[in-house]
Amino acid sequence: MPVREIKPGIYHVGAIDWDRRLFDELIPLPEGTTYNAYLVKGKEKTALVDTVDPAKEQELLDNLKEAGVEKLDYIIANHAEQDHSGAIGRVLERYPDARVVTNEKCKNFLKDLLLIPDEKFIVVKDGEDLSLGEKTFSFVFTPWVHWPETMVTYLKEDKILFSCDFFGSHFATSSLFADESGRLYESAKRYYAEIMMPFRTSIRKHLERLSNFDIDIIAPSHGPVYKNPSFTIDAYREWNSDDVKNEVVIAHVSMHGSTGKMVDYFIAALMKRGVQVKPFNLPGTDIGELAIALVDAATLVIATPMVLSGAHPQAVYAAFLANALRPKTRFISIIGSYGWGGKFVEQLKGLLGNLRAEVLEPVIARGHPKKEDFRKLEALVDTIVEKHKNSGLL
């Protein structure tokens, strides 16, 4: 991947990972990803902002060579996770006089994770400046987006925010700058849902603080660079707000069709009443799509048959995921069927405790759903419609 200029003296020297399809052996990456590292050449000093995933470290070194970097003074580490810090060791081998500039917490992570020796670090404080000559960095601590040590780096004269994971997107593209397409928006929303949503309270605080900065460009460490920062800042404000939409996410799985019949009836009944439905048949679901839907939906319903003495493992996983992502869901319910016993309602309720959502009366059928079960599903739909109306959504 070639070195690309963002502004005079400021270059993208990172790598595109077109083929990566899984992150942390967990998160699907349908659009691949990028590991953005930025080179900033000042009159007196030269700095690298973040590095790349170890799989791409040779590309980074080649790019630094192509950019004519003979001497590197600083490696700014905004975040210790290895997709940004994993090449620091190799960069230090190539540029032994460089110092890793980061906060105390990040330094300790980097020492633990990458065995970087203590003497290689310069520790900075929140709000501290670092001059390269006519270019000045200011460090802004943004803990919990999404690790406890995360920070962003603001280049004052050029009004560029190097935001690392914040405002990122797993979106491999040959375009240096964001095209603001629907595909990019969806990728950014997926990234927010999977990585940032559990930290809504912290993100709200950081968005507020960053609103005091004059930002012309946001240069994240994944995905394209934003020349129009409001595209991503406005999206974050919306996703991160307390506002929900008139939507019911239905995460469902059925083994022999009984739960499936209930789900079909339930979807149709909600649609008749003007409620938007987002069903996910769990065995074939990309969990990223489910996460995206959870960003906005007022209500989550999990539908499952009984397996052994509890919910189907796919339903357990969906509940575990929703609980971990902590969406702003206001109402939850459970529907399902069983043959001879078991306790999936209590099990799933217990798994969803982080949501602090109101639990609406579950509907559970013995075997094939019967008239009475469909009547109960109608009652659940009535309740959802009423709740959505009372929330001003319908």
Q: List phi, psi (to 5°) of 311.
A: -70, 160
CA trace torsion 18, 19, 24, 28 (10° rounding): 90
DSSP-assigned letter for residue 195:
I
Residue with token string 């996910």: 280
Residue (17 or 296) nearer to ligand FEO, CB? 17
Q: How far apart are CA 348 and CA 34, in angstroms?
A: 36
The HSE-up count of residue 293 (CA atoms within 13 Å, CB side) is: 22
As measured in angstroms, the least distance from the Cβ of 174 to ligand FEO is 20
Binding site residues, ligand FEO, CB under 6 A: 79, 81, 83-84, 146, 165, 221-222
Residue (17 or 83) nearer to ligand FEO, CB? 83
Residue (79 or 388) nearer to ligand FEO, CB? 79
As measured in angstroms, the least distance from the Cβ of 164 to ligand FEO is 7
Residue (73 or 81) nearer to ligand FEO, CB? 81
| Cβ-closest position to ligand FEO | 81
Residue (145 or 294) nearer to ligand FEO, CB? 145
Residue (24 or 97) nearer to ligand FEO, CB? 24
As measured in angstroms, the least distance from the Cβ of 261 to ligand FEO is 42
As measured in angstroms, the least distance from the Cβ of 223 to ligand FEO is 10
Residue (169 or 254) nearer to ligand FEO, CB? 169
CB environment 292-305: b (16+ within 10 A), e (fewer): bbbbbbbbbbbbbb
As measured in angstroms, the least distance from the Cβ of 192 to ligand FEO is 13
Task: For residue 89, count CB atoms less than 10 angstroms from its CB and return exposed for 0-12, middle for 13-18, buried for 19 or more.
Answer: middle
CA quadruple 39, 101, 236, 252: dihedral sign: positive
Q: How far apart are CA 303 and CA 30, in angstroms?
A: 26
As measured in angstroms, the least distance from the Cβ of 146 to ligand FEO is 6
Residue 262's SS3 state is helix
In 176-330, DSSP assigns E strands to 217-220, 245-252, 276-281, 297-307, 310-311
Q: How far apart are CA 125 and CA 144, in angstroms?
A: 17
As measured in angstroms, the least distance from the Cβ of 83 to ligand FEO is 4
| Residue 249, H or E segment | strand 245-252
As measured in angstroms, the least distance from the Cβ of 54 to ligand FEO is 13
Residue (41 or 189) nearer to ligand FEO, CB? 189
